Structure 1
């Protein structure tokens, strides 16, 4: 919602849980947001056949992982499209990435071609990706020419920018 209020042509959002799509559209309509395109899909290093997404009674526990909670908590199993992240980025040509993908950042972000991105806001999940995963995210960003920007980073949410505003000591 915040990103959609900026002067941008479109914001593309990718949501795995198909049960949230209607709610997201309603939220946007109630807030006068018309420039967001919501995709019911998962971005991955390579496209594949649709995968199972486990919708749980506890919505926050829904995931691609069948394990992790009591099996009786699974409300439904939905098929979700898996898109190639680089092909998708080449098509939509984003200038900024905002990413909260619950631990998949260590696998997906190193595979991304960052051409055209001026900034990235990433929520890290060190409890799942560990120090090697955190390092993989930072190394991918740095290799792409994006530097850690501490002014906008906070705790597990880290910001990377291609260039910084002038800083005076």
Structure 2
């Protein structure tokens, strides 16, 4: 029988045998992507067109899609989690999300080996990251083509290290906010430096008010001075 519960205001209809014990514990304890959910709520605004890379089981997708008049296009390289994400969105009566199985990169399309792990949030393009249960070949799509076709203005990603390559090569024309999780255990501080440098070249600035630890936001820097809010220090 399917267990159904709420996390971060999202109805999640899954059973313990559909995810690993580690992920099940994070879900039932409320720890699952708690920081991401809080920050994404602050990031997304009414009317945004959002491209999400790394749908997982659709919890963060559903948080994004709950903002009024938002459209979301969400991709994941793991076909199994895409099916779970679709179920979660349906359970929350969200009809403004389009899920797709696929790998989104910057540059020409091609085929890539994707390593699926029992803790799905560890699945990645990196074989050396740890033991895996399956390897699939997945075609890639160009991120800038999707951004242009869908009029994307917000990019949200948790792609287990692949953000370094993507942000180093993508143009991101039309995007004004980027949310991502850094993975220094995969590319070190040098990789973080590369990401910040690439975003600086595209006129993005680190947004301290909407970032926390490894979960960070870059915003287009238009030079405006912000009003001081003491609550931002809490």
- TM-score category (smaller protein): 0.7 to 0.9
Distance 1:22 1:86 in 2: 25
- TM-score, normalised with respect to structure 2: 0.64
Corresponding residue number in structure 2 for 1:20: 81
Higher helix share: 2
Out of 55, 61, 72, the position equivalent to 2:116 is 55
Structure 1 pair 67–166 and aligned structure 2 pair: CA distance change class (3 A):
closer
Q: CA deviation at 1:98?
A: 0.8
Is it true that 1:167 corresponds to 2:194 in the alignment? no
| Distance in 1 between residues matched to 2:127 and 2:219, nearest whole Å | 36
The aligned length equals 166
Aligned to 2:169: 111
Give the root-mean-square deviation of aligned CA atoms: 2.1
Give the Cα–Cα distance (whole angstroms) in 2 for the partners of residues 61 and 9 of structure 1: 28
> CA distance change for structure 1 residues 148 and 18 in 2, over 3 Å: closer, same or farther?
same
Q: Paired residue for 2:140, among 82, 85, 93?
A: 82
Unaligned runs of 5+ in 2: 1-61, 230-234
**Structure 1 segments unaligned to the other structure (5+ residues):** none
1:17-47 CA deviation, whole Å, 9 max, x = no partner? 0111111110001111111111211111223
Assess if the C-alpha contact under 8 Å between 1:42 and 1:80 holds in 2: yes
- Look up the SS of the partner of 2:140 in the other structure: strand
Structure 2 equivalent of residue 120 of structure 1: 178
Tell me, yes or no, if the aligned pair for 1:18 and 1:78 is still in contact at 8 Å. no
Asked whether the 8 Å contact 2:106–2:169 carries over to 1, the reply is yes
* CA displacement, residues 118-169 of structure 1 (integer Å, 9 cap, x when unaligned): 1111111111111221111111222212111101100001111125673248
Alignment check: 8 A CA contact 2:107 2:170 kept: no
TM-score by length of 1: 0.86
CA distance in 1, matches of 2:225, 2:151: 23
